[in-house]
Amino acid sequence: MIGADAIIKALEHEGTDLVFGYPGGAIMPLFDRLLDAGFKTILVRHEQGASLAADGYARATGRVGVCIATSGPGATNLVTGIANAALDSVPIVCITGQVATSMMGTDAFQEVDIFGMCLGVVKHSFVARDANDLYGMIRRAFEIARSGRPGPVLVDLPKDISIQQIETLEAWPPMPKRQATPSETAMARAQEMIQAAQRPLIYVGGGVGIAGAVRTFRNFVNTTRIPVVATLKGLGSIETEHPLFLGMLGMHGMKAANYAVENCDLLIAVGARFDDRATGKLQEFAPTAKVIHMDIDPAEIGKNRSPEVSLCGALEPNLKALTMPLEKVEWLEQCLVWKDEYRWNYEAPGEGIYAPRFLQLLSRLVPRRTIVTADVGQHQMWLAQHFALQNPNDHLTSGGLGTMGYGVPAAIGAQLGNPDALVICCSGDGSIMMNIQELATINRYSLPVKILLFDNQRLGMVRQWQELFFAERYSAVDLSDNPDFVALARSFGIDGMTIQDRMDEMPGIDYLINHPGPCLLHVRIDPQENVWPLVPPGKSNIHMMEGSSYALSR
């Protein structure tokens, strides 16, 4: 055996069923051995597509995603996807080729210090120095990626190490278990605070879905009858249509959610990190509330908001310990009044297609197990606000990094990991061009991914901010020279259809859901339409701007 064989054996032992990759000089020995591996190699058309597809696969399956690239530009092209996984706590293992150890540090052809470059965006990194370590190293990379708070792990593989002869596969000893658990005093204090609170509110983040604690969380909500608000990544932890769910909070949060945060006297943060897009002006976030903070990562406790009680550790046992029937009738009724008073009015004027209404209609008609991926921009926020979600791991969106170009590769990973599920990528005319080449990957592997493309011929979110905060000085946002997206999709072997009038909404939705194989639904929308509400930068969440007369009913 050689070093590359050890990597294959380790991947097989971890139950890997596919890897995403792109070959090149320094990684060729590993790609040679991939031909005989007991799993599939998915050839993407850009290395960023590999790391983002591995991210989508991991989120949609709960397993570790794997991507492989060569040295130099192959490795650097992975970095955006690695950073995306780091900020959203996604377990992926990234294997990069490297020049031979004798050439390292000489500025050899296609040499970069990818280990040093990725230090700030990985959970851990390895540089292989001995082929006899490779089997244990890859196994350890998986262990690190999925343990505790998940994240990306990098393995840099010099070419000479990948072809070095080895005789045995040596496993490393398992890592010691270091699971934090809250003290009995802290748990008792949290129970007392929940019982004593008059206006408690649950603030749920992405940690619930990552931890696989959805059922336990829902039982906590249903038993306590405490209203819930969610971050972008927390959406789906409780069903969107659940009567106790008030909506997403924050910069583009729903009014009922932001009002509840403003008025609560106890905020129970569950797997959330008090991110600036959720909190707005941090000093004025939940101004009258005491805080109970539950998170598996001790680095998040007190990082942005100091809690009265911290419950660091696995979410499930902590949620179970706090599950108790409560009677907070007056507060619950007030939250439901806000929810009803500020419900969305989808009857936009005119004959054009209004994206919020379109997404709301679509979410009513898709199968219950539908995975949606989103790119970044206005369409991402409209999807979060108006698409009814059933599970957090069926909503794949770039939360922390805000990666344009995420949607299509993530959909590829999600579809490969869930071949029987309906997978819809919601994108915009700006974002889709970032990784348009991955339409070739969809076609090659006959993946039935559905692409919903909202086209306003603008970088919509940037244009909205320039309109509101830069005196309508529009700089570098005009996309009126977009290609014919349907013709472009067809050139990749993917069928397409364009709609732009309200009467075309239902035929378009039927086409998107029921078309056999992959397809692209190109939806033309008003370039002046904005996302509402909007909390201006530097303001508290209570200061929401509303620009459309028909956007929110009162």
Q: Is 159 a catalytic residue?
A: yes
Helix (H) / strand (E) element for 158: namely strand 153-158
255-263 and 329-341 helices cross at what angle (nearest 10)?
150
User: Hey, which residues does 497 pair with through a beta bridge?
Assistant: 521
Q: Is 110 a catalytic residue?
A: yes
User: Hey, which residues does 2 pair with through a beta bridge?
Assistant: 165
3-class DSSP state of 226: coil
Q: Which residue in 110, 334, 457, 500 is the catalytic one? A: 110
**What span, in angstroms and rounded, lies between the C-alpha atoms of 187 and 101?**
52
- Provide the token pair at 136: 């244990």
Q: Is 437 a catalytic residue?
A: no
Q: Which residue in 438, 461, 466, 544 is the catalytic one? A: 461
Q: Which residue in 159, 233, 328, 450 is the catalytic one? A: 159
The string of DSSP codes covering 181-217 is ---HHHHHHHHHHHHH-SSEEEEE-THHHHHT-HHHH
User: Hey, which residues does 153 pair with through a beta bridge?
Assistant: 93, 124
- Provide the token pair at 455: 């086209």
Q: Is the dihedral of CA 32, 35, 41, 46 positive or negative?
A: positive
Give the pairing type, strands 266-270 and 40-43.
Answer: unpaired
Q: Which residue has the tokens 């931890």?
A: 211
**What span, in angstroms and rounded, lies between the C-alpha atoms of 200 and 214?**
20
Return the amino acid letter for 305. Answer: R
Max Cα–Cα distance, the chain, nearest Å: 73
Residues constituting the chain: 554
Q: Which residue in 12, 109, 341, 470 is the catalytic one? A: 109
Return the amino acid letter for 17. Answer: D
Q: Which residue in 9, 20, 47, 193 is the catalytic one? A: 47
**What span, in angstroms and rounded, lies between the C-alpha atoms of 4 and 33?**
7
**What span, in angstroms and rounded, lies between the C-alpha atoms of 21 and 245?**
40
**What span, in angstroms and rounded, lies between the C-alpha atoms of 127 and 156?**
5
Q: Is 469 a catalytic residue?
A: no
Residues annotated as catalytic (active site), given as ranges: 47, 109-110, 159, 461
